[in-house]
Amino acid sequence: MITGRVWKFGDNINTDLMIPNHVLHAPEEEQLKAVFSANRPGWVDEVQKGDILIAGHNFGMGSARAGARSLRNVGLACMVAESLNGLHLRNSVNYGFVALECEGVSTAFSEGDIAEISLEDFTIRNKTTGVTLKASPVPERLLTLMQNGGTFPLLEAEGYVSPVRPPKIGGGHK
């Protein structure tokens, strides 16, 4: 069960907002400081480890930037959107960040509500209001990758790539 405070984002959130151009080639630590700086200045200083992002339609549209990695690295436990851009969903799997689709989720939550997410039966519950929704199930193998660090740790464990030290996971980056 994943439980956390909700942060709300709208429709068509672009990966350029997650990793702005001026930090695109910077180290991950520098990228963290800029997550959503264009549309939510100061957000990265307020988000806490275990928080949950709730979004509208087509979340993660745009380029193949590793936005899911940045969302994971700022400390978010997971995200649930009305719909996810396919490339962003794939990046979520690759970088070990739980991302779900759930019709009606953007209207069922307000910022600051407490969400409770079961990956056993894919229910999304607003603990503040009591509303419960059903997310689209994620295939078991993809969910396992999302929950266990993603594709690269699996490739490391199987000897296909050299180990890489993971970045520090935070929240409240000042």
In a domain, 76, yes or no: yes
Q: Rounded distance, CA 9 to CA 66, Å?
A: 18
Half-sphere exposure of 113 (CA within 13 A, CB side): 21
Asked whether residue 166 is domain-assigned, the answer is: no
Return the pLDDT at 166.
Answer: 60
Q: How many CB atoms lie within 10 A of CB 161?
A: 13
Question: Does residue 168 form part of some domain?
Answer: no
Q: Is residue 173 part of a domain?
A: no
Q: What is the pLDDT of residue 174?
A: 45
Residue 92: C-alpha distances to residues 59, 79, 127, 168, 174 (Å):
12, 10, 25, 18, 25
- Structural contact between residues 148 and 99, judged by C-beta atoms closer than 8 angstroms: no
Let me know if residue 61 belongs to a domain.
Answer: yes
Q: What is the pLDDT of residue 170?
A: 59
Number of domains in the chain: 1
Is 48 a member of any domain?
yes
- 26 inside domain: yes
Domain that residue 6 falls in: 2-157
Q: What is the CATH number of the domain that holds 62?
A: 3.20.19.10
- Identify whether 67 is part of a domain: yes
Helix (H, G, I), strand (E, B) or coil at 110: coil
Classified as helix, coil or strand, 115 is: strand
pLDDT on residue 169: 56
pLDDT digits (tens, 9 = 90+) for 49-82: 999 999 999 999 988 889 999 999 999 999 999 9
Which parts of the chain have pLDDT scores under 70? 164-174
At CA 141, angle to CA 123 and CA 47, rounded to 5? 55
